[in-house]
Amino acid sequence: MKAESENKIQKAESPELEQSSFGLSALSFKLKIGFDGKRAANNLTGLGNYSRSLIENLAIQFPENEYYVYAPKVKVAKQIQSFFTLKNIRLKLPQSGKFLWRSFNILKDLKKDKIQLFHGLSHEIPLGISKTPIKSIVTIHDLIFLRYPEYYKFIDRKLYEWKSKSACKNADKVIAISEKTKDDIVELYGINPDKIEVIYQSCDDIFKSLIPAESLSRIKNTYHLPEKYILNVGTIEPRKNLKLIVQALKDVDKDYNLVVIGKPTPYFETVNNEIIKLGLEERVIFLRNIPFADLPGIYQMAEVFVYPSFYEGFGIPIIEALYSGVPVIAATGSCLEEAGGPDSLYVNPNDSKQLSQHLNQVINEPGLKKKMKAKGLEFVQKFNSPFVTKHLMDCYQSILK
């Protein structure tokens, strides 16, 4: 029922030296594409994984181009260092002053490097880039800070709004990671929908292969995982709505525990108080700082994945779960149906009774569980990296014509 492991992809070879308008020593790349690499070069999760995966897939699938990753600094971590081993991915640190570099001074470096297209991977592009010959694209992941402003500090919310709205207006193209995000951009920023391209995300290829039994056994023993567990992955914050799963757990078969992987915020105390109130201390397990290589195994051993977030831009953990062959239950109200597909189950994010009913249904009906796993794995292929990467390159080419 699992997808076949993808063939190992070889590193892109460096193109041969040849004469060009850039000089005899220049490399014969078809395109020079720049990226805002702050998160690609420094973040080990979330937008960092998204950025590295996007750039790496482009570099492998379209090796004839050169990909410049502009970052104010770079973290020394194996996950990040290995990203820069592809010969057509270049790390570019500030050459024209660090002060406000990503907003202003980076333009000097882009021009010096003869960048033809710049992609802001998370809500912003350099100010003034629209007045240069360099084409620009911005990816908007979500506008949650406008839909749910109570989750953000006032100054942060205003800064995010200013940067993202300016980027949407000044970029040559806007990429939304879901139809829901596109609708939000049109409604809240007044952007012409024809300027917006919906390009879904994939997840890391590490989730797309079966983990060997011996590795699963090691992972299970290392983290003291229970025999049967419900899995939730994501920051422990109000928007992610972990409290709902805890409330539903009390009405679920006692042989099933809840495993939560995520960074805690002050909301953790709210969740923990609910756990104590319901007497579920022995049934909820919190894991932190899990090595990325072990995460697929934890997914694959889960009985069901639950993601009852009030609002998301897309929902990458759902994609990870579907590739792992795990049934998914998610919340209505944002874009999670786009990620989970028609054969996952959905609940009102305020209805713990409905969630417990769905959990018991999946647990107690082997036929339903089998169908959800098979149909989910079939559906998630639409987010496979080669399709998403080709869509993205087509988008690049459309604005460079």
Collapsing DSSP to helix, strand or coil, 24 comes out as coil
Residue 57 pLDDT more than 70? yes
Q: How confident is the model over 271-297, as pLDDT tens digits?
A: 999 999 999 999 999 999 899 899 999
Asked whether residue 248 is domain-assigned, the answer is: yes
* 369: Cβ contacts below 8 Å, ≥ 6 apart: 304, 327, 362, 363
Domain co-membership, 47 together with 160: yes
Identify the band that residue 24 occupies on the pLDDT scale cut at 50, 70 and 90: very low
Is residue 80 scored above 90 in pLDDT?
A: no
Any idea which of 41-55, 228-242, 284-298 has the lowest mean pLDDT? 41-55
CB environment 145-161: b (16+ within 10 A), e (fewer): bbeeeebbeeeebeebb
52 with 192, same domain? yes
pLDDT number for residue 29? 67
Q: Are 275 and 257 a contacting pair, CB within 8 Å?
A: no
For 225, the token pair is: 């995982």
Classify residue 188: in a domain, yes or no. yes
Instruction: Indicate whether 144 and 225 sit together in one domain.
Output: no
pLDDT in tens, 300-358: 999 999 999 999 989 999 999 999 999 999 999 999 999 999 999 999 999 999 999 99
Residue 86 lies in a domain: yes
Q: Are residues 223 and 327 in the same domain?
A: yes
Percent of the chain scored above 90 by pLDDT?
81
Q: What is the mean pLDDT of the chain?
A: 91
Q: Same structural domain for residues 318 and 213?
A: yes
Say whether both 197 and 233 belong to one domain. Answer: no
Helices 242-249 and 352-364 cross at an angle (nearest 10°) of 60
Instruction: Give domain status of residue 2, yes or no.
Output: no
Q: How high is the pLDDT of residue 204?
A: 85
Quick check: 264 pLDDT over 70?
A: yes
- Rounded distance between C-alpha atoms, residue 57 and residue 40, angstroms: 13
Residues 60 and 141 in one domain: yes
Position 27 in a domain: no
The dihedrals phi and psi of 204, each to the nearest 5 degrees, come to -60, 140
Q: Any idea of the CA torsion for 236, 240, 244, 246, to the nearest 10 degrees? A: -30
Number of domains in the chain: 2
Mean pLDDT value across residues 123-142: 96
Residues 180 and 276 in one domain: no
In this structure, are 236 and 110 located in the same domain? no
CA distances, 397 to each of 116, 382, 391 (Å): 11, 21, 10
Q: Is residue 19 in a domain?
A: no
Based on the domain organization, do 60 and 183 belong to the same domain?
Answer: yes
Instruction: State the CATH number of the domain containing residue 350.
Output: 3.40.50.2000
Taking each helix axis as running N to C, give the angle between helix 179-189 and helix 154-170, from 0 to 180 degrees, rounded to the nearest 10.
90
Q: What is the CA angle 188-190-191, rounded to 5?
A: 115
Position 15 in a domain: no
Q: What is the pTM of this model?
A: 0.85
Range of the domain at 67: 32-202+384-400
Share of the chain above pLDDT 70, in %: 93
Residues 170 and 68 in one domain: yes
- Quick one: 74 and 178 in the same domain? yes
Flag whether 141 is in a domain.
yes
- 210, pLDDT greater than 60: yes
